[in-house]
Amino acid sequence: MAEEPQNPPPAEQVLPVADPLPPPQPQPEEKAAEAEPAIIEEAEKAHEDKISVSVSFKEETNVVADLPEAQKKALDELKKLVQEALNKHELAAPKAPAPEPEKKKPQVAVVQEKKEIEVTEEEKKEVQVTLTEEKKEVQVTETEEKKEVEVTEEKKEVEVTEEKKEVEVTEEKKEVEGTEEKKEGEVTEEKKEAEEVEIWGIPLLADERSDVILLKFLRARDFKVKDALTMIKNTVRWRKEFGIDGLVAEDLGSDWDKVVFNHGQDKQGHPVCYNVFGEFENKELYNKTFSDEEKRNKFIRWRIQLLEKSVRSLDFSPTAISTIVQVNDLKNSPGLGKRDLRQATNQALQLLQDNYPEFVAKQIFINVPWWYLAFSRMISPFLTQRTKSKFLFAGPSKSAETLFKYIAPELVPLQYGGLSREAEQEFTAADAVTEVTIKPTSKHAVVFPVSEKSHLVWEIRVVGWEVNYGAEFVPSAEDGYTVIVQKSRKIASTDETVITNGFKIGEAGKVVLTIDNQTSKKKKLLYRSKTKATAE
Q: Pairing state of beta strands 271-276 and 324-329?
A: parallel
Specify the pLDDT at position 334.
76
Residue type, 222: D
Measuring CA to CA, which residue among 407, 405, 506, 499 is closest to residue 461?
499
Pseudo-torsion of CA 240, 243, 246, 251, nearest 10°? -160
Specify the pLDDT at position 93.
54
Strands (E), 110-169: none
- Residue stretches of the chain with pLDDT short of 70: 1-58, 92-195, 335-337, 382, 384, 424, 535-536
Specify the pLDDT at position 389.
81
Specify the pLDDT at position 138.
36
Report how far residue 508's alpha carbon sits from residue 521's, in angstroms, rounded to the nearest whole number: 37
Pseudo-torsion of CA 514, 519, 523, 525, nearest 10°? -20
Specify the pLDDT at position 132.
44
Q: Where are the chain's structural domains? A: 11-18+30-58+203-407, 434-533
Whether 11-18+30-58+203-407 shares its CATH topology with 434-533 is answered no
Report how far residue 142's alpha carbon sits from residue 123's, in angstroms, rounded to the nearest whole number: 14
Specify the pLDDT at position 154.
52
From the options 1.10.287.3510, 2.40.110.10, 2.60.120.680, 2.40.50.100, give the CATH code of 434-533.
2.60.120.680
Report how far residue 192's alpha carbon sits from residue 91's, in angstroms, rounded to the nearest whole number: 11
CATH fold of 11-18+30-58+203-407: Phosphatidylinositol Transfer Protein Sec14p (3.40.525)
Contact 7, 227 (CB under 8 A): yes
Measuring CA to CA, which residue among 250, 81, 108, 235 is closest to residue 169?
108
Report how far residue 413's alpha carbon sits from residue 433's, in angstroms, rounded to the nearest whole number: 13
